[in-house]
Amino acid sequence: MTNEIEVISDGDGLAVLGAPGDVDAFLTSFGFESRELELHRLGPSYKTGSSQLRG
């Protein structure tokens, strides 16, 4: 483990990126629970957006 994480905020919430064990340790140290993002749901949006950029 590299023990490196990245924290991203959009003003409404946070995304904590890194190795699962590192993310869990970071969140647990602040009393938070982790929830994995369902990135597979973004696939159709990326395909639509990229096709419109090309066209």
User: Domain residue spans in the chain?
Assistant: 5-54
pTM over 0.85: no
How does pLDDT run along the chain (55 residues), one tens digit per residue?
578 999 999 998 888 888 888 988 999 999 988 777 776 666 665 555 555 555 5
Residue 3, CA distances (Å) to 21, 28, 34 in order = 9, 14, 16
Give residue 7's pLDDT: 92
Report residue 32 as tokens.
């938070």
Contacts of 24 (CB under 8 A, 6+ apart): 34
pLDDT number for residue 8:
92
